[in-house]
Structure 1
Amino acid sequence: MNELKPMVVQDKDTKQVLSLVYCNDESLKLSREKGFLYRYSRQYERVMKKGETSGNVQELVSLASDCDSDAVLATVRQRGGGACHTGGWTCFSEEKGVEWGSLDELIETIRLRRKEKPSGSYVASIVCDADAVGAKLREEANE
C-alpha cells in the first residue's frame, strides 16, 4: 500500500518540531537507504529529497511509526539553513530553539549523582532537599 501518511519532522538537538510533511512507502524506503529525509510533495506529485533545491537537507536520525501506523515521526539533524521553504528555521517559528539535549544531560547527571552518591559531590549532598535542587537547577539553567 502506498498511501500518504503525515510525517512530523523533529530536530534531534533542539527537540523543535520543524515541519509536518507527507510520506509514502517510497519516501520512507529512500530515507532509510540514503540517510536523508525524503518526503512526498503534494504540489509536485512526487517523492523529493528535503532540501533538493535549497540545499537545506535533513540528515535522518530515526523514523518511528505511531501506535496505529498511520503517522510517522522523523527525527533529523537540520543541515544548512532553515527547514521551512520560506527560510524560517521551522514551519512554525523563525527562530532556532534551545538545544534541549543539554537539559537531558543535566537530568542524567543528577540521576547518576543521586544513585551513586559520590564522595564530595555537591549534587549528591543536596538531592534530598527540593529547595536546594530547585536552586541548583536555576543556577545551571542560567549558565
Structure 2
Amino acid sequence: MIKYQIESIQFDERGLIPVVVQNAQTKEVLTVAYMNRESLEKTIETKETWFYSRSRQELWNKGATSGNTQQVVAIRADCDEDALVVEVLPKGPACHTGEVSCFHKVIVAPGQAVGSFGILANLVQVIQDREKSMPEGAYTTYLFEKGVDKIGKKIGEEATEVVIAAKNRDAEELQWEAADLLYHLLVLLQEQKVNLYDVLEVLQKRHESKS
C-alpha cells in the first residue's frame, strides 16, 4: 500500500514535492520544506522527517545535528497528490532560530494558536520567553527565581484545590483550579527542561499500546 502511494505521488519537473510539516497534537504548522522520492522513502522507513535541500542539493535529516527531531505520525497527500502534509511529534523547536515554528512572524493574525491544544502551545512559549527574559514583577519570573521547591509546593496546593472543587461539584471553580494546576505544571516542566510534547508522546504511546 505504501509503495502504491509513493508511486502515485506527483513530483514536479525537478523531482520534488512541497511538504507542510504540522504538529500532530497542536495542529500548528511548523515549517514548509521539500522532499524527493528518496527522502520520502527514508521518512517512511525511519519515521523521522527527511527533506531535500534545494540550495545544497542533498538530503538532510531534521534534528540530526541539533537533536530537534520530528517523529512522523502520519503523511497525507492532497487531492492532486502534488503536495504533502506530514504530521509529527517534535522534539524541540522546528525553526533554526529556536522558535517553535518557522511561522512566528505575524503579519495579520490575532496572535494566538488555534486548535485543541493551541492555548497550551502559546502558554509553553510564554513560559519559555519568561525564563529567558525574566521580566521584573512577572509571577512566572518569581516562580523561576524561587525554584523547584516553590513550584512544587504550588502544584501541591493547586492539586488540592482541584480535588476540593470536584468534591464540591463546583464546575466553574474546578475549571479555574484546573487551569492553575496546568499552568504551574508547565512551569515545572520548563524548569526541569522536560518538553511538554514528550509528555504527550508518552500518553500517545500508552494509548497505542492499549488500542
TM range (shorter): 0.5 to 0.7
TM (norm. structure 1) is 0.65
**Residue of structure 2 aligned with 1:92, choices 103, 128, 145:** 103
Map of 2:43 onto structure 1? 31
1:96, 1:75 → 2: CA distance? 20
1:13, 1:96 → 2: CA distance? 16
The Cα shift of 1:99 comes to 6.9
Between 1 and 2, higher relative CO (CA 8 Å, sep ≥ 6) is seen in 1
Cα deviations by residue, 1:29-65 (Å, 9 ceiling, x for unpaired): 0011001011111122111111122110000001111
The Cα shift of 1:102 comes to 9.2
**Residue of structure 2 aligned with 1:54, choices 66, 83, 87:** 66
Kindly indicate whether the alpha-carbon contact (under 8 Å) linking 2:52 and 2:59 is maintained by their aligned counterparts in 1: yes
Q: What percentage of residue pairs aligned between the two structures are identical?
A: 38
Aligned length: 107
1:88, 1:102 → 2: CA distance? 15
Map of 1:66 onto structure 2? 78
2:81, 2:118 → 1: CA distance? 31
Superposed, which structure 2 residues align to 1:61-140 within 5 Å? 61-79=73-91, 81-93=92-104, 97=113, 100=116
Residue aligned with 1:68, SS = coil
More helix per residue: 2
Q: More deviation in 90-99 or 41-50?
A: 90-99
Kindly indicate whether the alpha-carbon contact (under 8 Å) linking 1:89 and 1:96 is maintained by their aligned counterparts in 2: no
1:99, 1:23 → 2: CA distance? 27
1:21 counterpart = 2:33: yes
Q: More deviation in 10-19 or 45-54?
A: 45-54
Map of 2:17 onto structure 1? 5
Cα deviations by residue, 1:72-123 (Å, 9 ceiling, x for unpaired): 00000001x21011111000128995772599xxxxxxxxxxxxxxxxxxxx
- The 1:82–1:97 alpha-carbon spacing in structure 2 relative to 1, beyond 3 Å, is farther
Q: Give, as a single letter, the amino acid of the residue that structure 1 aligns with 2:71.
A: E
Kindly indicate whether the alpha-carbon contact (under 8 Å) linking 1:90 and 1:96 is maintained by their aligned counterparts in 2: no
TM (norm. structure 2) is 0.45
- The 1:53–1:67 alpha-carbon spacing in structure 2 relative to 1, beyond 3 Å, is same
Kindly indicate whether the alpha-carbon contact (under 8 Å) linking 1:11 and 1:76 is maintained by their aligned counterparts in 2: yes
RMSD: 3.0
Kindly indicate whether the alpha-carbon contact (under 8 Å) linking 1:9 and 1:20 is maintained by their aligned counterparts in 2: yes
